[in-house]
Amino acid sequence: MNKHEFLAQLRNGLSGLPRKDIEERLTFYSEMIDDRMEEGYSEEESVEAVGTVDEIVEQIIAETPFTRIAKERIKPKRELENWEIALIVISFPIWFSLAIMAVAVVLSIYVLLLATFLMLWIVFATLVALSVASVVTGSVVLFSEPLTGVAVYGIASASAGLSILMFFGCKVATRYILKLSKDLAVWMKNLFIKKEVA
């Protein structure tokens, strides 16, 4: 792929963003390709080193604030006629309630992710606290009732082992929860970006 094709595909992928942002990104990647060509690389190698268009578009969309994307999408391309304004006003109860429902669904997904994250780490903290409390209790009880003290030490070692396993599980789950929330944000931004057919 040459530079012209790359920039055309990039412009198409970013078509839902504000025009100023698109021009800034195109200028940036054009200069990056030119710099690599000045270093002695061929045009195709320079374009390939920049990365794929899809990866770049996804990264740019992830970095662009949602408000800027929504503002560009909602901004009318022409002045609305009287009948269009009347239709918007008359249909307000319908589209406004649907918009509130969509926002509520998205917020509930984020609350669910946050609750899962907190629940996992609270279980981990509880297991750690149980193991520490069992060691302290076992030390006190061991001298008066040896069998009970040994049983409490067993509980301490079991909860310590479970807390170690839970820690690694929480780390993995946290990584996936953060990735899922980022992917959800990018997906919502992509809903507002209208792709132009090349």
**The pLDDT of residue 194:** 58
**The pLDDT of residue 84:** 84
Under 8 Å between Cβ of 110 and 181: yes
The pLDDT of residue 11 is above 90 = no
CA–CA distance from 19 to each of 26, 58, 133 (Å)? 11, 17, 61
Same domain, 20 and 96: no
Q: What is the mean pLDDT of the chain?
A: 86
Domain for residue 198, yes or no?
A: no
Same domain, 95 and 178: yes
- Which tens digits make up the pLDDT trace of 117-171? 999 999 999 999 999 999 999 988 988 899 998 999 999 999 999 999 999 999 9
**The pLDDT of residue 196:** 44
Domain for residue 180, yes or no?
A: yes
Same domain, 184 and 90: yes
Q: What percent of the chain has pLDDT over 90?
A: 38
Same domain, 12 and 33: yes
Same domain, 89 and 110: yes
Under 8 Å between Cβ of 61 and 22: no
Under 8 Å between Cβ of 159 and 131: yes
Same domain, 94 and 62: no
Domain that holds residue 66: 3-75
Domain for residue 197, yes or no?
A: no
Q: Which range, 2-6, 71-75, 79-83, 173-177, has the best average confidence (pLDDT)?
A: 173-177
Mean pLDDT across the stretch 171-185? 91
Number of domains in the chain: 2
Under 8 Å between Cβ of 72 and 16: yes
**The pLDDT of residue 197:** 40
Mean pLDDT across the stretch 91-106? 91
Contacts (Cβ under 8 Å, ≥6 apart) of 84:
none
Mean pLDDT across the stretch 178-195? 80
Mean pLDDT across the stretch 78-106? 89
- Which tens digits make up the pLDDT trace of 25-63? 889 888 888 888 888 888 888 888 888 888 888 888 888
Amino acid at 163: S
Same domain, 87 and 71: no
Neighbours of 57 (CB within 10 A): 21
